[in-house]
Structure 1
Amino acid sequence: MIRTGEQYRDSIRGNREVYVNGEKVKDVTTHPQFKPLVDVRARIYDMQHETAHREVMTVTQDGEVNALGNALPYSQEDWWAKRRATDHMMNEIGGVVTRVGDETVGEMWSLYDGQDVLNEVDPQFSKNIENHIFRVLKEDPFHVSANTDPKGDRSKAPQDQDPDMLLHVVKETDAGIVVRGAKYETAAAYANQAFTKPTIANWGNAEMSDYAVGFICDLNSPNLKFICRTGFAGRADPRDYPLANKFDEVDTIVIFDNVLIPWENVLFYRHTKAATFIRATLHRYSAFAFVQRNLKVADMMIGAALFNVRQTGLENQQAVQEKLAKLAVYREGINAHLTAAITLGETSPAGLMMPNQSLLYTGRVHACSQLHEMTHIARELCGGQICVTPDAASFEAPETKPWLEKYYSINDEWVADDRRKLLAFARDMLNSDYAGHRLTFQLFAQSPPFAHLAAVYRNFDWDGPLAFVKDSADLSDRVMGGKTLAAGDSAISKWYSTDIKSDASRTAAE
Structure 2
Amino acid sequence: MIRTGEEYKASIRDNREVWIDGERVKDITIHPSFKPIIDVRARIYDLAHEAATRDVMSYVDVATGERNAIGLKLPRTQQDWHDKRRAVDTVMDDIGGIVTRVGDETIGEMWSLYDGKDVLNEVDPRFAENIERHIHKALYADPFHVSANTDPKGDRSKPPQEQDPDSLLHVVKETDAGIIVRGAKYETAAAYSNQAFVKPTIANWGEAKLSDYAVGFVCDMGAPGIKHICRSGFVGRAPIEDYPLSNRFDEIDTLVIFDNVLIPWEDVLFYQHTRAATFIRSTLHRYSAFAWVQRALRMADLMIGAALFNVRQTGLEKQQAVQEKLAALAVYRETINAHLTASIATGESSPSGLLMPNQSLLYTGRVQACTQLPAMMHLARELCGGQICVTPSAASFDNPEIGKWMDKYYSINENWISDDRRKLLAFGRDLLNSDYAGHRLTFQLFAQSPPFAHLNAVYRNFDFKPALGYVKKAAGLSDRVTGLQAEPRLRKIA
Instruction: Report the TM-score when normalising by structure 2.
Output: 0.98
Deviation at 1:202, TM superposition (A): 5.4
Which amino acid in structure 2 is aligned with residue 10 of structure 1? A
C-alpha contact (below 8 Å) 2:148/2:197 kept by paired residues: yes
C-alpha contact (below 8 Å) 2:25/2:31 kept by paired residues: yes
C-alpha contact (below 8 Å) 1:158/1:202 kept by paired residues: no
Alignment pair present for 1:118 and 2:99: no
Choose the corresponding residue for 1:466, options 465, 468, 478: 468
What secondary structure does 2:102 align onto?
coil
Deviation at 1:398, TM superposition (A): 0.7
Which residue matches 1:47?
47
Alignment pair present for 1:350 and 2:345: no
Distance 1:27 1:115 in 2: 39
Deviation at 1:205, TM superposition (A): 2.5
Aligned pairs (5 A) from 1:300-319: 300-319=302-321
Which residue matches 2:81?
79
Distance 2:385 2:66 in 1: 51
Which residue matches 1:158?
160
Which residue matches 2:334?
332
Distance 2:330 2:126 in 1: 49
Distance 2:308 2:373 in 1: 18
Distance 2:391 2:441 in 1: 23
Which residue matches 1:485?
486
Deviation at 1:203, TM superposition (A): 5.0
Aligned pairs (5 A) from 1:47-196: 47-61=47-61, 62=63, 63-196=65-198
Which residue matches 1:362?
364
Q: Deviations over 1:251-279 (max 9, x none)?
A: 00000000000000000000100001000
What secondary structure does 2:213 align onto?
coil
Distance 1:202 1:334 in 2: 31
Aligned pairs (5 A) from 1:394-409: 394-409=396-411
Distance 2:230 2:151 in 1: 15
C-alpha contact (below 8 Å) 1:461/1:490 kept by paired residues: no
Which structure is higher in helix share? 1
C-alpha contact (below 8 Å) 1:157/1:204 kept by paired residues: no
Distance 2:476 2:224 in 1: 67
C-alpha contact (below 8 Å) 1:17/1:24 kept by paired residues: yes
Alignment pair present for 1:31 and 2:26: no
Aligned pairs (5 A) from 1:213-292: 213-292=215-294
Distance 1:147 1:116 in 2: 23
C-alpha contact (below 8 Å) 2:147/2:197 kept by paired residues: yes
In the alignment of these two chains, the number of paired residues is 492
Instruction: Report the TM-score when normalising by structure 1.
Output: 0.95
What secondary structure does 1:212 align onto?
strand
What secondary structure does 1:69 align onto?
helix
Deviation at 1:478, TM superposition (A): 2.5
Distance 2:485 2:144 in 1: 49
Which amino acid in structure 2 is aligned with residue 31 of structure 1? H
Which residue matches 2:417?
415
C-alpha contact (below 8 Å) 2:101/2:188 kept by paired residues: yes
Once superposed, what is the RMSD of the aligned Cα atoms?
1.0
What secondary structure does 2:53 align onto?
helix
Distance 1:199 1:146 in 2: 10
What secondary structure does 1:477 align onto?
coil
C-alpha contact (below 8 Å) 2:466/2:485 kept by paired residues: no
Which amino acid in structure 2 is aligned with residue 6 of structure 1? E
Which amino acid in structure 1 is aligned with residue 26 of structure 2? K
Long gaps (5+) in structure 1: 501-510
Which residue matches 2:13?
13
What secondary structure does 2:147 align onto?
strand
Distance 1:478 1:324 in 2: 52
